[in-house]
Amino acid sequence: MTAGAGNAFGAYVARVARAGQLVVQPRMGFGRPEAMRAGLLAVRAASVTSVGTLTVDSFTRVGLHDAARRALDEGRALNGYPIVTHAPATNRAVLDGAVGPEFPVQVRHGSSRPQAIISALTLAGLDTTEGGPVSYCLPYGRTGLRESVRNWRESCELLTRVRQRGAEPHLETFGGCMMGQLCPPSLLVALSLLEALFFCQHGLRSVSLSYAQQTDTGQDEQAVRALRVLAGELLAGVEWHVVVYTYMGVYPRSRGGALLLLEEAVTLAVRTGAARVIVKTVSEAHRLPTIAENVEALEVASLAARTVERAADDADNEVLVEARGLVERVLDLREDVGEALIEAFTRGFLDVPYCLHPDNRRRSGSCIDIDGRLRWTSVGAMPIPKPAVMGRPHSLTADGLLTSLTYVQRKFDGLALASG
């Protein structure tokens, strides 16, 4: 981790990491201002080392602000906070007395057209968010990749304007979480790095790089270490850290299975030197979590982190070799990282398995091998060595895909049942 520009969010995470602690973070969002404020205050008051989250609702993510307003007017629940729909004064009131140097807040959204969201969060006095031109485009809709790149260029420019009030913005890439599941780790690492480089090329000096827990702990450890190695090489002079996401796919249905999976994500983060972890709750498979369930997940994660020690770095691994090859191939295409990303997807040098977006070539495939590791079944035009590709068909059957998608759920529910 590099000390640099001094964003409040980045500086806080860096300070906690230097003290040997892990920052735990919820994904919490509520439509009503009073509920959102109560959630932030509850997280701040919890006996954990945390940051706050204001997660935006699905209407706002796709620009349907009138629909968000109607839902509020009709008293219907939203699955997040409509920061564009609420007035700036309301947003500031939600944050007043909650946000501070020891409790910075990040806005999370999921939009390939985030300009209105970023304008709203900066008007509210915030300076930290997340996303990316690839990771918030390909999985979530039909926005063209070129349009998404243009939108994210503008968004970086909007975010950097907070420097006019003496703040330093922070942007987290979602690239390490593409599709949530069944994407081999080397591609996640490469996309995380490439989006971070895109942000830096467009004015960001404080960034974080994501990686989502996958199906095998050993492979995940290789991936996070690879991500840290490449960030150290490519983000010189930039304030950066790595954030691990608790599994983003089909979640265990049992309470015991959900808690075991969360604890494994925390173990991954601590052992590999990640600075922050995004938690999930025991209700993930069933409904939106309550404030109390979010706080419980933070407390479970914080307690688990105290029982784990960082392992020795062993970064020279298969994931690093593949990820380095992908990053270098893309950066060789164009000086402008956004244009390089567009060309890489056009030519198939980047190709996300099971992603149906029209700008994705869809010639890659993956599977979970007998040991639980994610493997390529085909790589299309991606610069990945042939020995890394397993001799299986390009595509799974419907039953095979369902079995793969529920692998983690079945594994951890089974572990919980076996442990009583």
pLDDT tens-digit map of 116-161: 999 999 999 999 999 999 999 998 778 999 999 999 999 999 999 9
Vertex 12 angle, CA 258 and 97, to 5°: 85
The predicted structure's pLDDT at residue 343: 98
Helices (H), 235-370: 255-272, 291-305, 318-331, 337-347
- Measured distance CA(35)–CA(103) in Å, rounded: 18
> What percent of the chain is modeled with pLDDT above 90?
86
- Residues in contact with 95: Cβ distance below 8 Å, sequence separation at least 6, in sequence order: 37, 40, 105, 124, 125, 126
pLDDT digits (tens, 9 = 90+) for 365-414: 999 999 999 999 999 999 998 756 665 544 567 777 888 889 999 998 99
- Measured distance CA(214)–CA(125) in Å, rounded: 35
Contact call for residues 84 and 60 (beta carbons, < 8 A): yes
pLDDT digits (tens, 9 = 90+) for 5-44: 456 999 999 999 999 999 999 999 999 999 999 999 999 9
Contact call for residues 191 and 135 (beta carbons, < 8 A): yes
Q: How many Cβ atoms from other residues are within 10 Å of residue 42's Cβ?
A: 19
Tell me which residue of 418, 416, 398 sits closest to 406, measured CA to CA. 398
β partners of residue 2: 240
Contact call for residues 79 and 58 (beta carbons, < 8 A): yes
- How many CA atoms are closer than 13 Å to the CA of 148, on its beta-carbon side? 25
The pLDDT of 45-69, averaged and rounded, is 96
Read off the DSSP letter of residue 108.
Answer: E
The predicted structure's pLDDT at residue 314: 74
The pLDDT of 32-59, averaged and rounded, is 97
Q: What is the CATH number of the domain that holds 143?
A: 3.20.20.240
Tell me which residue of 208, 171, 283, 252 sits closest to 419, measured CA to CA. 252
Distance of CA 330 to the CA centre of its chain: 21
Residue numbers of the domain that contains 254: 8-305
Structure-token match 């149906």, residue found: 356
Q: Would 416 be classed as within a structural domain?
A: no
pLDDT digits (tens, 9 = 90+) for 175-186: 999 887 899 999
Q: Would 139 be classed as within a structural domain?
A: yes
Mean pLDDT of all residues in the chain? 93
Tell me if residue 241 falls in helix, strand or coil.
strand
Q: Would 364 be classed as within a structural domain?
A: no
Q: Would 69 be classed as within a structural domain?
A: yes
β partners of residue 376: 366, 389
Domain count for the chain, please give it.
1
Predicted confidence band at 264 (pLDDT cuts at 50, 70, 90)? very high
pLDDT digits (tens, 9 = 90+) for 212-249: 999 999 999 999 999 999 999 999 999 999 999 999 99
Q: Would 347 be classed as within a structural domain?
A: no
Q: Would 27 be classed as within a structural domain?
A: yes
The pLDDT of 285-302, averaged and rounded, is 94
To the nearest 10 degrees (0 to 180), the angle between helices 318-331 and 185-201 is 40
What DSSP element (H or E) covers 105?
A: strand 105-108
The pLDDT of 326-348, averaged and rounded, is 98
Predicted TM-score of the model (pTM)? 0.95
pLDDT at 315 over 90: no
Q: Dump the DSSP string for 187-216.
A: HHHHHHHHHHHHHHHTT--EEEEEEE--S-
Q: Would 330 be classed as within a structural domain?
A: no
The predicted structure's pLDDT at residue 5: 43
Q: Would 343 be classed as within a structural domain?
A: no
Torsion angle of the four alpha carbons 142, 147, 148, 153, in this order, in degrees rounded to the nearest 10: -170
105-108 and 239-245 strand pairing:
unpaired
Contact call for residues 117 and 136 (beta carbons, < 8 A): no
Q: How many Cβ atoms from other residues are within 10 Å of residue 21's Cβ?
A: 17
The predicted structure's pLDDT at residue 391: 55
- Residues in contact with 290: Cβ distance below 8 Å, sequence separation at least 6, in sequence order: 283
Tell me which residue of 325, 341, 397, 333 sits closest to 365, measured CA to CA. 397
The predicted structure's pLDDT at residue 263: 97
